[in-house]
Each structure stands twice: as C-alpha cells, then as structure tokens.
Structure 1
C-alpha cells in the first residue's frame, strides 16, 4: 500500500469521527513506526485519539499491510507543526506566530498575533511595533508559519 493510499484510507475512517488527518509518516527501518497526526474542530482530546487508534487497528487493510512491520503512533500535532491551512490559523487565533512570507510590503520573517482568517487571508497584528494596525497576508504568500511561545 502506498502512502497516498494509506492517507485516503485514514481520511475515510477519520471522517466518521469528524477528525482531520494532518500528517502521516512511516519509518521503515527495523521496528518501524507509523505516525499519524490528527486534529479535530475545537481540538482533539485524548479519548478521541484512543478511539481512533482502536478503529485503525481493527481495519483489515491495516492488519494486512502494517501490523507486522510497524508500531502505530497516533497523536495530535505539536506546537512545532507548521500552519498551512486556513483551519490551522483559525484554531490558533490569539496566538503569536512567526511567519516567513513573500509579501513585499511587510518584513519577513514577521512575528504577529493571529486575529482572524477570512477565506484565504490571515489577519495579523504585529506584537508591539504597530499599535493595532492589522496586516492582511494571503495564504499563498506564506512560506512557513509556526506558533511562538510567549515567555
């Protein structure tokens, strides 16, 4: 089974639980690990991950292709997971984000607070330099975005 076929199977199964598959990785060395990162609107709970893991293990396609060679690891994306989709930014409204982008009117990288997401545009507010001024950054101009921790 190819990685794309696996992703399709997982997305089909995940949709029954209102879960999104964010990433799938396989390390095919001895004692390989199949890592599935998933999320859910409002955030995924441990019980959601537990239930979804059990559902995966019950699948015939999993048993035939992966159970002998891989340990299954199902988890939520961590704070270091890149923000790439509108729902990633929406979920993290109010948080600081570091964004590398191609927009010429704004310095890159930019550290700002996510204010909102409207269609394919992320609305940001620079942390201190611009008092209240909003920056509208189209998603297609964002090269890399990651959450920043306030200390």
Structure 2
C-alpha cells in the first residue's frame, strides 16, 4: 500500500477508532485475487471484544463508502485485534503484556526469555527464569536495548505462579 494511501486511510479511520477508546495499531491493504483486503488492527489496554470489532467494522465501512479512499476496486474489510505473535514495538505493547513471557533479541546481539514485571516510559522490568535450579533474577531493559520482542505463548503455565504475582505487584500474603 502506498504511503499516501496509508496516511489517508489512517487520517480517515483513526478518529473513529479513538472515539471508541481504542488504538489504531495497523492498516494494511493486500491483494487477494481480484479484490483487496483492508485489514484494520485495533487494540486497547483492556483488549478488544468481538462486539467492538463488529460495531467498528460497520462504522468504518460506512465511512469508506462515503469517500473514495479505497478507489473503485472491490475490497474486503477486516477489523481485528492483534494476534498473539504481534511484535512488541511500542511502550503500550509492553505494558499490555505485563505478566507475560517474552522472547527478546537485544541490540547487543544477545537473546533473552523473561517475564515482564513492570513498564515505564524508558523501559521494562523483567524476571529472567533461573536455570538448573538457580533462582530467577530481575533485570531492567531500556527500550533502545531491545531490537525485537514478541510474547511467548505458554500452554502449561500454572495460574497463581510467581510471575503472576510479580505482574500484579502482590505477594502471596497480600493476595
């Protein structure tokens, strides 16, 4: 998608998204046979419900029908939330992933798997799991130290684990 079309679509759709308390994360137009797919990715601190996506889809569709932003060619509109494998690139992404395990490639060439325990304007606090019986260690990473990061999916994580408590800022005594 051209930068001009992307900027135009963002300018047209972002006010609709923001009015619903959401962040416009991405706009993507891709060819799909004789049609195109316009994917609008939205998110919020509380996540995005299916009903919210459906309502936003109706509003976006109406706005696009009122303009020529997509041109005369047919397209399919998808309004969705980011997938679990979405890269963490903004401070709000890390904040929303607090308590989750991430895999990060660091700018110094290293790689780190750790649980996010806190986020502020400059960076993240993480808990690195202990290896071979050692205790976990806490570490601070500035955002500019992280080249690339994604949430790691955990299928066997126990509820109420130490990472959950660290993410909530509570100890077992407080819970």
User: Normalized against structure 1, the TM-score is what?
Assistant: 0.88
* Residues in 1 aligned to 2:91 and 2:128: alpha-carbon distance in whole angstroms: 19
Q: Which residue of 1 aligns with 2:81?
A: 76
Q: What SS is found at the alignment partner of 1:28?
A: strand
C-alpha separation in 1, matches of 2:124 and 2:152: 16
Kept after mapping to 1: 8 A contact 2:129/2:137: no
Larger proportion of strand: 1
Which stretches in structure 2 are left out of the alignment for 5+ residues?
156-175
SS at match of 1:123: strand
Query: 1:85 and 2:90 equivalent?
Result: yes
Superposed, 1:126-137 pairs within 5 Å as 126-129=128-131, 131-137=135-141
Structure ID, larger Rg: 2
Match of 1:125 among 127, 130, 137: 127
Give 1:108's aligned residue.
110
Question: Aligned pair 1:12/2:15, yes or no?
Answer: yes
Number of the residue aligned with 1:95: 100
Distance, in Å, in 2 between the alignment partners of 1:53 and 1:60 is: 10
Distance change (3 Å), C-alpha of 1:92 and 1:69: same
* C-alpha spacing 1:131/1:62, structure 2 compared with 1 (3 Å): farther
Gaps of at least 5 residues in structure 1 are none
In structure 1, distance between residues paired with 2:12 and 2:137: 44
Checking the alignment, whether the CA contact within 8 Å between 1:82 and 1:144 is kept in structure 2 is yes
CA distance in 2, matches of 1:32, 1:145: 30
Regions of 4+ moved over 3 Å = 60-63
Return 57-66 or 77-86, whichever deviates more.
57-66
Q: CA deviation at 1:69?
A: 2.2
Measured after TM superposition, the shift of residue 132 of structure 1 is: 3.9
